């Protein structure tokens, strides 16, 4: 039982390049999320998917797109990377949107945009 | 404005000592408060959840308290171990809304031998 798996672990991009961050969970969770974590700031929600086939914007969606490929997988795409997108990206899942369900996080993708 | 503030930002303690981390919030209407532990290079892991009616909850050497009247929570770590070195993040959940989680910036705890 791997939980939430993110790939790649590290990535360096040049400004303007594109890439897709992959996330998969094996806990049969309905809800999945993408967060970014920057020094001195709390985790900020980029996009989330309450269930297969639905996605919604979070607090900081600009410059990103997502795809909920199936119940297990939720990918995050940067179409044209900018230095401001240098961050650590975390994917998370939860059993449902109920307020007592904890988030299960992956171990992050460390992205540097030069 | 819904906010979660944690203090101190960082803390260094000797192995075996106790410590207390603080979380103050202005999130309303409140649903629950959760503490997460984040080891370096890893994702956060849930330690404990506090709902409105709970004052104290323990998870091994971790004890969380909640005062819903003053909107304060604390995480007390007893007999610290080197493996307790991590960031501890306070997360408050709103009762309503789609984006209903509010994250603190965390307290970085370092336990030294």
The per-residue pLDDT for B1 is: 82
pLDDT at residue B31 greater than cutoff 90 = no
User: Pick from B4, B43, B98: which is nearest to A107 by CB?
Assistant: B43
Provide the percentage of residues in chain A whose pLDDT is more than 70: 96
- Residue appearing with tokens 């949107």: A97
- Looking at residues A59-70, what average pLDDT do you find? 96
Work out how many CB contacts closer than 8 A connect A with B: 50
Residues of chain B with C-beta less than 8 angstroms from the C-beta of A40: 105
The residue of chain A with its CA nearest to that of B31 is: A99
The per-residue pLDDT for A1 is: 65
Contact A40 B98 (CB under 8 A): no
- Between B96 and A3, whose confidence is greater? A3
- Residue appearing with tokens 């809800």: A31
Q: Cβ distance A23 to A2 under 8 Å?
A: no
Q: Cβ distance A37 to A90 under 8 Å?
A: yes
- Looking at residues A72-95, what average pLDDT do you find? 96
The per-residue pLDDT for A2 is: 80
Give dist(CA A40, CA A61) in Å, integer.
20
Give dist(CA A105, CA A3) in Å, integer.
8
The per-residue pLDDT for A33 is: 95
Query: B58-103: per-residue pLDDT in tens?
Result: 999 999 999 999 999 999 999 999 999 999 999 998 887 666 889 9
The residue of chain A with its CA nearest to that of B105 is: A42
The per-residue pLDDT for A42 is: 87
The CA-atom distances, in angstroms, between B78 and each of A56, A64, B60, B81 are 41, 42, 9, 9
Contact A103 B46 (CB under 8 A): yes
Q: Is B97 left (phi over 0), alpha (psi -120 to 50) or beta?
A: left
Contact B103 A42 (CB under 8 A): yes
- Looking at residues A23-47, what average pLDDT do you find? 94
Query: A89-104: per-residue pLDDT in tens?
Result: 999 999 865 657 889 9
pLDDT at residue A73 greater than cutoff 90 = yes
């Amino acid at each position: 039982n791997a939980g939430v798996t993110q790939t790649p672990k590290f990535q360096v991009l040049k400004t303007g390049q594109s890439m897709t961050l992959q996330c998969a969970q094996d806990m049969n969770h309905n809800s999945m999320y993408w967060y970014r974590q920057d020094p001195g700031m709390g985790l900020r929600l980029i996009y989330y998917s309450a269930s297969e086939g639905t996605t919604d914007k979070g607090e900081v969606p600009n410059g990103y797109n997502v795809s909920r490929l199936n119940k297990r997988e939720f990918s995050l795409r940067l179409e044209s990377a900018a230095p401001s997108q240098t961050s650590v990206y975390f994917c998370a899942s939860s059993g449902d949107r109920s307020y007592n369900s904890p988030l299960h996080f992956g171990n992050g993708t460390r992205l540097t945009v030069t | 404005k819904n906010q979660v503030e944690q203090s101190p930002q960082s803390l260094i303690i000797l192995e075996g000592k106790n410590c207390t981390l603080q979380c103050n919030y202005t999130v309303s209407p409140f649903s629950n408060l959760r503490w997460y532990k984040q080891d370096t290079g890893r994702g956060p892991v849930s330690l404990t959840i506090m709902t409105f009616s709970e004052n104290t909850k323990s998870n091994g050497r971790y004890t969380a308290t909640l005062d819903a009247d003053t909107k304060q929570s604390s995480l007390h770590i007893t007999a610290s171990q080197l493996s307790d070195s991590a960031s501890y993040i306070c997360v408050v959940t709103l009762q309503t809304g789609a984006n209903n989680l509010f994250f603190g910036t965390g307290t970085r705890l370092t336990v030294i031998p």
